[in-house]
Structure 1
Amino acid sequence: MTLSHDVTGDGPTVVLLHSTVCDRRMWDPQIPALVAAGHRVVRCDFRGFGDTPVPDRPSSDADDVVALLDALGAPRVALVGASGGGRVALEIAAGRPERVTALALLCTAVAGHEAGAELRAVGAREDALLEAGDVAGATELNVRTWVGPAADEQTRDKVRRMQRHAFDVQLAAAEEFPPVRTEPDPSAITARTLLVSGRHDLTDFREIAAGLARRIPGARHVELDWAGHLPSLERPEAVNPLLVDFLRGGA
């Protein structure tokens, strides 16, 4: 199965991997800036998100993305991943370092992370709401948790629609298959790496970014004092120049 995706522009390939609160539409504000900077931009929906069906067997998001890149004739790419998409980017960059030229991780998750009390509480509350059939309540919980204070109501509504769609698709599945993940060895990453965290994000993700910055050779960590968990949506006018400069080699 090929992940639903779109390709825009010409030049060196940049692959955008979405947060699991969202789908590939989260990158709408980044596409014009990256194309104008001379990139071919690829973005895709993981299984069970956006336009990609839920998995019908155990599957690996990282393997799915690599298969898509093979189909597109993109042997070496820059990866930009947000949250759960960052976790997938880390798996690719550590497991196939020869394929990744640059790695930008926005409020990234990482396989094997032991959730802190704050993150566990959010997960437990979401589970309780979904078990009670309150999908709208679970959706609002995610919007409140993951969208930072700099975002406007239009942005919050966009996240609301993406999260609700993911819930609807996944809850309708006849069977749930857990994802296949590997824990990456950050020291194996050879790509230039930028880690971005948000001052208003949950502590887990700020700690993940700081820890990875110590373990990935030469990585740079930037914490945005205005940002929550989805800075590329909350203030794209601030994040786009950061990404363009990094991909150009300036950061």
Structure 2
Amino acid sequence: MTLSHDVAGDGPTLVLLHSTVCDRRMWDPQLPALTAAGYRVVRCDLRGFGDSPMPDRPYNNADDVAELLDALGVERAALVGASGGGRVALEFAARMPQRTAALALLCTAVADHEPGEQLRAFGDEEDTLLEAGDVAAATELNVTAWIGPQADDATRELVRTMQRHAFEVQLAPGEEHGSVKHPVDHTVITAPALLVSGEHDFADFTDIAVRLSKEIAGSRHVHLDWAGHLPSMERPEDVNAVLVAFLREAFPAV
């Protein structure tokens, strides 16, 4: 299955990988800035999000991204990932370094992180609500947890819509197929990497950024004192400037 996606602009290819609270619509504020900077921008919905259905067989998100690039005739791209999308980007870059030109990771997750007390409590509460069938309350829990104080009401409503849709897709009756796990060694990543964390996010994600800055050679960590977990949606213009500056250095458009 080819992931649902859209393509805009011309130039070197960027792949935008969404947070697992969202889908590819989270990147709407970045699209004009990145295409204007001279990039071909590919946005996709991971399986079970947006317009991509749940898998009908065992799957791997990084392999799905590689298959999408193959279908588009792209040999090498820069990856921009938020949260769970960053985790996918990290696996792609570690397993397929020859295809990875640069990494920009916003409040990224990693596969082997042991959650801290607050993040674990959030996960337990979400599980309890979903097991009780209260999708509306689970959705509101996610909106409250993941959006920082700088976000406006329209942004909160979009996150609410995306998260509710993801729950509805993922909880619909049907056969479940697990993801295929691969070992991921961050130290083998060769692409230039930008690691962004937010002061108003769970502390786990700052800890992850600090850890990755030590594991990925030549990487750079930027901590935003105003940001929550989704800075690209909370203050898009500020994040767009950071992304474009990094990409122009690490993966310049012709």
TM bracket, shorter-chain basis? over 0.9
Q: Which amino acid is the alignment partner of residue 128 of structure 1?
A: T
Match of 2:3 in 1: 3
Which residues in structure 2 correspond to 1:69-218 (within 5 Å)?
69-218=69-218
Aligned 8 A contact 1:139 1:160 in 2: yes
Unaligned runs of 5+ in 1: none
Match of 1:225 in 2: 225
Alpha-carbon distance in structure 2 between the residues aligned to 1:173 and 1:89: 29
Q: Which amino acid is the alignment partner of residue 30 of structure 1?
A: Q
Match of 1:247 in 2: 247
* Superimposed CA distance per residue, residues 164-194 of structure 1 (whole angstroms, 9 cap, x where no aligned partner): 0000011114122222232421111111100
Query: Is 1:42 the equivalent of 2:42?
Result: yes
Q: How far did 1:143 drift?
A: 0.3
Aligned 8 A contact 1:31 1:41 in 2: yes
Pair 1:200–1:183, CA change in 2 (3 A):
farther
Q: Which amino acid is the alignment partner of residue 205 of structure 1?
A: F
Q: Which amino acid is the alignment partner of residue 40 of structure 1?
A: R
Q: Which amino acid is the alignment partner of residue 83 of structure 2?
A: S
Alpha-carbon distance in structure 1 between the residues aligned to 2:205 and 2:177: 25
Q: How far did 1:203 drift?
A: 1.1
Q: Which amino acid is the alignment partner of residue 174 of structure 1?
A: G
Q: Which amino acid is the alignment partner of residue 74 of structure 1?
A: V
Which residues in structure 2 correspond to 1:10-25 (within 5 Å)?
10-25=10-25
Match of 2:27 in 1: 27
Q: Which amino acid is the alignment partner of residue 166 of structure 2?
A: A
Q: Which amino acid is the alignment partner of residue 229 of structure 1?
A: H
SS at match of 1:85: helix
SS at match of 1:249: helix
Alpha-carbon distance in structure 2 between the residues aligned to 1:27 and 1:181: 27
SS at match of 2:174: coil
SS at match of 1:142: helix
TM score, norm. by length of structure 2? 0.97
* Superimposed CA distance per residue, residues 181-236 of structure 1 (whole angstroms, 9 cap, x where no aligned partner): 32421111111100000001101111001100011000000000000000000100
Q: Which amino acid is the alignment partner of residue 75 of structure 1?
A: E
* Superimposed CA distance per residue, residues 76-100 of structure 1 (whole angstroms, 9 cap, x where no aligned partner): 1000000000000000101111101
Q: Which amino acid is the alignment partner of residue 57 of structure 2?
A: R
Q: Which amino acid is the alignment partner of residue 198 of structure 1?
A: G
Q: How far did 1:250 drift?
A: 6.8
Alpha-carbon distance in structure 2 between the residues aligned to 1:25 and 1:183: 30
Aligned 8 A contact 1:57 1:177 in 2: yes
Deviant stretches of 4+, over 6 Å: none
SS at match of 1:3: coil
Q: Which amino acid is the alignment partner of residue 87 of structure 2?
A: R
Q: Which amino acid is the alignment partner of residue 128 of structure 2?
A: A
Q: Which amino acid is the alignment partner of residue 119 of structure 1?
A: L
